[in-house]
């Protein structure tokens, strides 16, 4: 596979994301990480910060591109000649949602495949919300997020206090 | 088991909650009902009101403590020497969510167990939202919530009209 | 069956809704489409617009009534002598939710049945949110919504720009 | 609805079955209980015994017919001019299976509807296997099966000892 | 991706299998269809027949190899230098099972990826069991299986009568 | 809690079982491991072998008793004055099944609680079937089962060859 797209809000990137991005980079030559410009919820990190953290956290991997996206995922994938969307699933609620999303994207772009990767048991439970909650309450986020995220949270915290 | 923690928003306490608290009180000498100070949604009852209703609704049970909590549940459990978190599950969507939450708490506090109690078929479907919706539309909430909640809703209603 | 109720927000009506309404009209002489006055989220179309679109989109079917509803669904069904609620399910997350909702309605109105219709594989994945998202980003909504909805979205779009 | 079909092995009929049959008889004038001639597992009761127990257990209901069936359910429904299949669902594993079965039947008989009824919380957990297991180990099956089944099990037990 | 493995019993191959094999052939240069020698249930078609039907049904696709396999899937994948296992999922019960299977295979062969492809809504519900049941009862299997399977079933039927 | 019961076939005991038994031994003074005498499938190890392996694998834990059981689990728990059944859940299919089983046991023994423990992410995927399959095909079962099981499988293997 030439190109795959791995979409998300990444507010911020977690070790769960990095596990999936690493595995995706073994399946395709080029992994486009599509960072959602508009998210249904207010983000802690703005678009640039989210993209920078992703670039830094994946600098050790080859073939990774971090690109903001708004609009339809099916159109974005077409613009970037992507063959497939990569999505991680942790449990059946994720699977149920992804099966429906895959049908929407197939209806919008019949050439676009959806690849679901089973989340890694060791990092699958990690979400951006968990990282922010644990940090907010002085918990140790090392098991959940890369070092650059910890730095960024500390800076963000000092800016806001 | 010495101490278990039963966390929630309890806005307000329902007969479903009381079923689980009663069963928890048979499993451990001390049941700490952890009332969330900060909830993602605006609550109808404030923290004190929620705590008072819980105390009144469980007055007939021994070994019950009602304590507000903010911060990480894993830390709260450690502070109160709790051996386990008690959570009720009604169906698979609950189970999927609780399996992931249990992994987060295990990562934050490896000594903390998570005990999932199958909801009682007769009260499992009751949620605080159902109680408030039924009351708001003049429905009978007796099958769903203890008498003290009905009183509190009537007072709240008269205050707000 | 004389009368069934098919409740929802219908913001706007989709081909998935129309599939279920058509099938419901074969099961009962009278299908009351109950349009929720109050929805937890702000709607794109107001109540009248939503009702008008439903009437237009189901004009080809007999025995259809479009009626706004607020309050408890169990009470609305009683007022309209409905024997059953019709609900569509696409996957297990829907099923889990509907099983609990059915218990609430059974507790409020023991005569009211809940009929779950398996979503049609070809239209089951369509939601009002998908229709609005695809339209917003200039996608083709013909496979997802009836023509009258496309018109209404174009008018709404021109009003808002 | 004129006619609906409620299929199963009924080895033997349980209070869970009777709850669904009773509810089906309120939705349609005629409920054909289709008793599977061939079942993947050896049955405790033969076909006649299973049919007789069903007839006896539903004698108090009107419009009920008990008819053995082999072959495709979609064909059987067509032969008996049935508009819909009635199936009960207790949880999401049932729902997942029934959604797929509904698609198979829709592909074989596009006029045939599938109606899923949420199992009653009080009897939903009862299966024929539970009835036989509890009886085998001298448990009380009154909460699980009608009196005629208890009689039949006692007779079967004395025949086999 | 160079090589992926698509395992199964294929007793017989269905249009659901062919949809997944076709999609897999777009993701990798070489798709090894691993046909299980030992299956938990007695098969209708023996190993050679199952392999021949697969070869015939996928003759129009390039890069397809049909190879019997026994032993551990993780070992088979290693022997054939496969980067990933391809598995289709139709609903959450499949997803739950595949998530656990993926963990077993990851424990046995850490280099082996598991790719889950959402079943196509139009063919996802088709299983080998459905094909055999429909044929057994003189139903039309054209919507479910390729022509060569129909031929083989007719021959098998005449041999057995 | 004085006594809990942890039931199963244990054919053979795995590291997943031992994780749950270890955690149960922290919740109650006495953990009765109930080894099913009659299992729906033929077992590789007979009853005594299964019990011996359990005793050896849990020798390092205090308060563990290994007792064969046949009949109803609800009755067995009553005979041994157990307050709760301990069951592990790995995903939603387990949860769906356990919620129904808990209702059956509650109907048979209203004093008996069911405690569901979320499977440990690192060992949750391990089943007795996986252990036997991996051993049969010369895989390494050290990550899946205790040393005594490996010994027993080697002896069983030599006896059978």
- Mean of all residue pLDDT scores within chain D: 96
Contact E91 D99 (CB under 8 A): yes
Q: What is the 3-state secondary structure (H, E, C) of D3-16?
A: EEEEEECCCCCCHH
CA angle A147, A150, A151 (to 5 degrees): 90
Catalytic residues of C: 17, 41, 90, 128
Q: If pLDDT is split at 50, 70 and 90, which confidence band does F40 have?
A: confident
Angle at B83 between CA B77 and CA B84, to 5 degrees: 80
* Active-site residue, from D90, D106, D150, D156: D90
What local confidence, expressed as pLDDT, does residue E12 receive? 98
Mean pLDDT, residues D78-86 taken together: 98
Say yes or no: ipTM exceeds 0.85.
yes
pLDDT of residue F160: 80
pLDDT at position A97 over 80: yes
Mean pLDDT on C23-43: 93
DSSP E152: H
Strands (E), chain B: 3-8, 30-36, 64-69, 84-89, 113-118
Query: Looking at residues D116-143, what average pLDDT do you find?
Result: 95
pLDDT reading at B123 higher than 80: yes
What pLDDT, on a 0 to 100 scale, did the predictor assign at position C159? 87
Which of A48-52, A149-153, B40-44 is predicted with the least confidence, judged by mean pLDDT? Answer: B40-44
Average pLDDT over residues F118-139: 95
Q: What is the pLDDT of residues C42-52, one digit of tens each?
A: 899 999 999 99
Q: What is the pTM of this model?
A: 0.95
- Rounded-to-integer distance, Cα D5 and Cα D157, Å: 31
Angle CA A147–A149–A150, to nearest 5: 65
Cβ of C125 and A107 within 8 Å?
A: yes
**Homologous superfamily, domain B3-160:** HUPs (3.40.50.620)
User: What is the CB-side half-sphere exposure of residue F92 using CA atoms within 13 A?
Assistant: 33
Chains that touch B (3 or more CB pairs under 8 A): A, C, D, F
Reported confidence tier of residue C40, pLDDT bands at 50, 70, 90: confident
Partner B contacted by D122 (CB < 8 A)? yes
Per DSSP, the three-state class of A143 is: coil
Asked if the C-beta of E96 comes within 8 angstroms of chain F's C-beta atoms, the answer is yes
* Chain B residue with minimum CA distance to D90: B91
Average pLDDT on A50-74 reads 97
Would an 8 Å CB–CB cutoff place E72 in contact with chain F? yes
Phi and psi at residue E121, to the nearest 5°: -55, -30
pLDDT at site B51: 98
User: From the CA of D109, how many Å to the nearest CA of chain F?
Assistant: 30
pLDDT in tens, C58-75: 999 999 999 999 999 999
pLDDT in tens, C101-115: 999 999 999 999 999
pLDDT at F66: 98
Half-sphere exposure at residue F14, Cβ-oriented, CA atoms within 13 angstroms: 24
pLDDT at position C109: 95
- Please choose, from the candidates B34, B40, B30, the residue with its C-alpha nearest in 3D space to the C-alpha of residue B13: B34
Q: Which helix (H) or strand (E) holds F1?
A: none
CB spacing of B125 vs C103 below 8 angstroms: yes
User: How far apart, in Å, do the first and last CA atoms of chain C sit?
Assistant: 46
Please give the Cα distance from E157 to E141 (Å, whole number): 14
CB F21 within 8 A of CB F61: yes
Work out the pLDDT band at D160, boundaries 50, 70, 90.
confident
**Beta-sheet pairing, E64-69 with A84-89:** unpaired
The mean per-residue pLDDT over the stretch F127-148 comes to: 96
Tens of pLDDT, residue by residue over A118-143, are 999 999 999 999 999 999 999 999 99
Q: What is the pLDDT of residues B25-64, one digit of tens each?
A: 999 999 999 999 987 778 999 999 999 999 999 999 999 9
Q: Which of F90, F134, F139 sits opposite E100 (nearest CB)?
A: F90
Average pLDDT, chain B: 96
Collapse the DSSP code of F6 into the 3-class scheme (helix H, G, I; strand E, B; otherwise coil) and give the result.
Answer: strand
B125 touches chain D (CB under 8 A): yes
DSSP notation for B50-82: HHHHHHHHTTTSSSEEEEEE-S-HHHHHHHTT-
pLDDT > 80? residue F161 = no
Residue B97, SS3 per DSSP: helix
pLDDT for F39 equals: 77
Tell me how far CA of residue D87 lies from CA of C101, C108, D84, in angstroms.
18, 23, 10
Whether residue E93 lies within 8 A of chain F, CB to CB, comes out as: yes
In order along its 161 residues, chain E shows pLDDT tens digits of 999 999 999 999 999 999 999 999 999 999 999 999 987 778 999 999 999 999 999 999 999 999 999 999 999 999 999 999 999 999 999 999 999 999 999 999 999 999 999 999 999 999 999 999 999 999 999 999 999 999 999 999 998 87
Residue in E28, E95, E118 nearest the CB of A102: E118
């Amino acid at each position: 596979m030439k190109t795959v797209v791995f979409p998300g809000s990444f507010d911020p990137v977690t070790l769960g994301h990095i596990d999936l991005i690493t595995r995706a980079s073994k399946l395709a030559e080029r992994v486009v990480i599509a960072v959602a410009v508009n998210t249904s919820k207010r983000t802690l990190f703005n678009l640039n910060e989210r993209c920078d953290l992703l670039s830094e956290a994946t600098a050790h991997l080859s073939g990774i591109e971090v690109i903001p996206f708004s609009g339809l995922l099916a159109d974005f994938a077409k613009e970037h000649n992507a063959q497939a969307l990569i999505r991680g699933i942790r449990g059946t609620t994720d699977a149920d949602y992804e099966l429906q999303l895959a049908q929407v994207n197939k209806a919008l772009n019949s050439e676009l495949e959806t690849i679901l990767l089973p989340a890694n048991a060791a990092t699958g439970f990690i979400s951006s919300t968990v990282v922010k909650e644990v940090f907010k309450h002085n918990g140790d986020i090392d098991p959940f997020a890369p070092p650059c995220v910890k730095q960024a949270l500390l800076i963000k915290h000092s800016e806001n206090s």
